[in-house]
Structure 1
């Protein structure tokens, strides 16, 4: 039964459909669910701090239901996004309803689509799951992100080289353009260097960056031809909303946490104290244990149901939905998070053994 708890994520696309069918202000049902009801219910439940034993982990790993719940999000994400383009084109929506519907679809794409794509991007390159991550990311025009996240961010996080690590005092509004452009530039440079090492031109179909860019151009053309301008602009704007939410989670996940330079001049290894963690039980079910961030960086290939809670890792004061709302107001964010980030660094220094 615990595996089916993660099927709560399907309530997000369902809320999009219910909101559309109900019309008027009900069109905003999805943002109210994700950023209103879920954070409130998180307060009502005990924190999710239980870790599987070795025997339990073996059983969880072989439980097909966990994977079926997870895999089911992929076709549903594709169907929802394409269906949304037809709604934007064929339904007679008011301006307010179209805005609410596009916002709701963008939130659904982020919560359901990108949470799943994040885990699938860590599967073996060339596998079916890895391909599925590209498909999901393409539905929000961000197919390069999975490559940069695995190859770039996991290696650079907590250092000045990582555009996806928010610096202490940096606002979300400064971080978003830096992270979005910086992540693209980093993976483009990495793949361009690989092509040059193989004495190939950068622009060739063996370059995965070229193939994902061409694929997304073809997708955009297809959406425009099939659904016209309304469907095209809906598709682009829901993608922008989803990407901004994804990058906001990046902002929250490592804000103010930096890796120190070791005695040999290199940055210390990535450790549990370089990521913020969230223990909200309901948020964990909606986001496939994304809040167990530190364990994910220690074990990038570990499936979501096997991730561990680490009590000594930096802990967010609330789950991701509440923290997203807080990040939208920089003064409130800094008053809440800066002392926590500073105290985390001080505690690390005090805990470090003397040389």
Structure 2
């Protein structure tokens, strides 16, 4: 591609990125369908789309490995359109959440409440990705909105832990959000939830301590984010009673688990190596699982190009690149997270890929200690079958 063509390059997905805004509209559609028909099926739209429609579309539409030319990146990152479509998720997210809570507490029966619970959880779970995108920005407005997006899932500590913990320790045994080979999602979930919380509090305690401030100071980013959750949950409880609090807590756990199953997928079995001084090597594209499936990337602000994100965390979502040396998932996140719920299937699909990515070198894998001996034999067996 010559320089004149590069200068004229236009993002072919420019307006398709706004498809992600359909997600927070789903509970609103569910409410409208229920209001006019009395039927609850509309409340199941969000889980149906997450678990069925998106995986099918990923399969049918396929992948896109193309990258924007580097000459176009400054213009892409300066274009406020991309910023505004991320901002727009948040008011729709809150509208969908508040509408669902009101219907669940005043109108819906048992099955409707369950459907509304999953619908709300998936909107707010995907909302964590909005908070993730904004949390990497350096302006005060984006950072405030990042905390606001995390409030409905009571996961405000993610703002601190992801940026200053996960990105520092990713693909190492020290990172609670990096899954280990042989570790099931169900074993990973409590480890990452508890570990990430502890890490965020430790990071803030250390940061504030350097300023001569205590952990409970109002400038604590974790406490600021949690305060937004208290205001949201407390306000709903005052208006709608204790059932609103129970509903919000349940959907928060489900929404947070949606984030964590994606965390589980993103770094499974990958390990940064130490240098001669015992320091971990810089994070490279090979330390994150990548996926170029178009539909899920459109819905998740290209989160699946996770290899480039970790290698270059300040790069905007619309400019993230595919790297040929990054390990590739066999499908998009929407499919892979369902596979993760069933450990035997997950291990069957992903363990051979971990071995292949590390070229059969067991020492290069991030392995769960309790599975080390078994997986060492597995690596040896796989190597023998390849060399036979």
| TM-score over 0.5 for the pair | yes
| The one of 100, 114, 135 aligned to 1:121 | 135
Say if 2:93 is the partner of 1:77.
yes
**Residue by residue, what CA displacement relative to the aligned partner does 1:134-177 show, whole Å, maximum 9, x if unpaired?**
11111211111011100000000111110100000101011111
Q: Residue 11 of structure 1: CA displacement?
A: 2.3
Written as runs of structure 1 = structure 2, the 5 A alignment for 1:148-187 is: 148-187=161-200
More deviation in 159-168 or 227-236? Answer: 227-236
Q: Distance in 2 between matches of 1:266 and 1:129?
A: 32
2:49 corresponds to: 33
| The one of 199, 209, 225 aligned to 2:238 | 225
TM-score calculated relative to the size of structure 1: 0.92
Larger Rg computed on CA atoms: 2
**DSSP-derived class of the 2:329 partner:** coil
C-alpha contact 1:52 1:306 (8 A) present in aligned 2: yes
2:105 corresponds to: 89
Q: Residue 347 of structure 1: CA displacement?
A: 7.1
Q: Residue 200 of structure 1: CA displacement?
A: 3.5
More deviation in 30-39 or 53-62? Answer: 53-62
Q: Residue 255 of structure 1: CA displacement?
A: 0.5
Say if 2:28 is the partner of 1:17.
yes
1:333 corresponds to: 346
Written as runs of structure 1 = structure 2, the 5 A alignment for 1:1-355 is: 2-20=13-31, 21-22=33-34, 23-91=39-107, 93-111=108-126, 113-124=127-138, 127-346=140-359
More deviation in 201-210 or 67-76? Answer: 201-210
C-alpha contact 1:12 1:34 (8 A) present in aligned 2: no
Q: More relative contact order in 1 or in 2 (CA 8 Å, sep 6+)?
A: 1
More deviation in 330-339 or 297-306? Answer: 297-306
Q: Distance in 1 between matches of 2:177 and 2:305?
A: 18
Could you say if the C-alpha distance between residues 209 and 11 of structure 1 is closer, same or farther in structure 2, counting changes exceeding 3 Å? closer
Q: Distance in 2 between matches of 1:330 and 1:181?
A: 21
Gaps of 5+ in 2: 1-11, 363-388
Runs of 4 or more off by more than 4 Å in structure 1? none
Q: Distance in 2 between matches of 1:151 and 1:169?
A: 27
Q: Distance in 2 between matches of 1:154 and 1:117?
A: 15
Q: Distance in 1 between matches of 2:85 and 2:210?
A: 41
Could you say if the C-alpha distance between residues 196 and 115 of structure 1 is closer, same or farther in structure 2, counting changes exceeding 3 Å? closer
Q: Residue 179 of structure 1: CA displacement?
A: 0.5
**DSSP-derived class of the 1:346 partner:** coil
Q: Distance in 2 between matches of 1:307 and 1:134?
A: 23
The count of aligned residue pairs is: 347
TM-score calculated relative to the size of structure 2: 0.85
**Residue by residue, what CA displacement relative to the aligned partner does 1:242-267 show, whole Å, maximum 9, x if unpaired?**
10000111100001101112122111
Gaps of 5+ in 1: 350-355
Q: Considering only aligned residues, what root-mean-square deviation do their CA atoms show, in Å?
A: 2.0
